[in-house]
Amino acid sequence: MSARLTVSPDWLVEAVGSVLAAAGLRPRAATAVARGLVEADLRGTPSDGVMLVPMYAERLRKGSVGTHESAEVVHDMGAIAVLDAGHALGRLTGDQAMDLAVLKARTYGIGVVTVCHAFHFGGAYRYARTAAYAGCIGIAAANSSPLVPGPGGTAAVLGENPLAVAVPTENGEPILLSSALSEAALGEVRLAARQGGPIPRTRAGDRAGTPSADPVEALAGLLLPAAGHMGYGLALVVDILTGVLSGGSFGSGVRDLNADTSEPVDCAHFFLALSVSAFGNRAAFEQRVAELAAQITGPPKASGTERPVLPGQLEAERKTAARRAGVPLDAKVLAALRETATTVGITLGAPS
């Protein structure tokens, strides 16, 4: 297993931003993407974090990811819009798309935006949470390259297809469900392979679909759908809402994020903002949400557990703690970041 260390969040954002700027992004955009990557590590979801920087930088240099910062609006009708990202970084066009969905929700009560010809946007929680902060129930989803078989199948037909839902609350921190629809995100398996550790046998399988604890074997095989047929069914729905609905790629048309980095990934995204105020008083809604949350977290804890928690609560607590104590980072991830910096012609200073 690789050693772990902690670094200052501010240093890490500056370092990642410098690398991405040297790879071709404007400084402001590079910093925005860097903040999103570092936040994933702060939340304890490193598969969407700084470990992705070498791949991002390589794709920027090879041109499969564009350096432009916004998507083109190709269809706009009332509460609905379709954007063409032109293979820009997904964290930039994802923010743009959800901001537009929220703007439409303020006018129409609901805003729905799909994005075609997109690129990896990181944790779907980021965009759903944006809507919740604006007083909307937010939904964000993306499709990805096929990694998951259908029931009874041995061929990958659907991606891990992350889905997030966020609900505004009285205290400002939304109830936030965010998950891949496979038992494990591909990034988690890649991270385990990099660290040299096993994965639970329930998460992935070999080429024949036989469950395996070997992450290297799993990378050449299949991811298993979350909760069996339920995860498979939801992943199919996400592929329809993203790729099919947007007019973009779906199923086998979406390329592997870590395969040929000279070819665009060509995934698709879906964003929905539902204005709580359109249904009545927002404060009353949030009070009712608080009552429901109290019913969930109020009962005594079960034996062997810490306490009942709400979706997203642990990640928010990890983020708060890591901002004080430092970002937990795998030593190999930091080494790869330094190597990437050298590749794009800069040198990173010592972490603080």
Which residues pair with residue 137 across a beta bridge?
Answer: 274
- Strands 110-118 and 80-84 turn out to be parallel
Task: Note the pLDDT tens digit of each residue in 145-172.
Answer: 998 988 878 889 999 999 999 999 998 8
Q: Which two tokens stand for residue 112?
A: 């729905």
Q: Where are the domains of the chain?
A: 4-62+313-343, 72-182+225-282
Task: Note the pLDDT tens digit of each residue in 327-351.
Answer: 999 999 999 999 999 999 999 988 8
Cα 182 to Cα 218, 231, 334, distances in angstroms: 13, 6, 27
The fold of 4-62+313-343 is Hypothetical Oxidoreductase Yiak; Chain: A, domain 1 (1.10.1530)
pLDDT number for residue 184: 74
pLDDT number for residue 2: 66
Regions in the chain scoring below 50 on pLDDT: none
Q: How far apart are CA 197 and CA 16, in angstroms?
A: 26
- Strands 110-118 and 267-275 turn out to be antiparallel
What is the CATH code for 72-182+225-282? 3.30.1370.60
Q: CA geometry: angle at 249 spanning 246 and 252, to 5°? A: 145
Q: Residue 154: what are its φ and ψ, rounded to 5°?
A: -120, 5
Q: Which two tokens stand for residue 345?
A: 């012609």
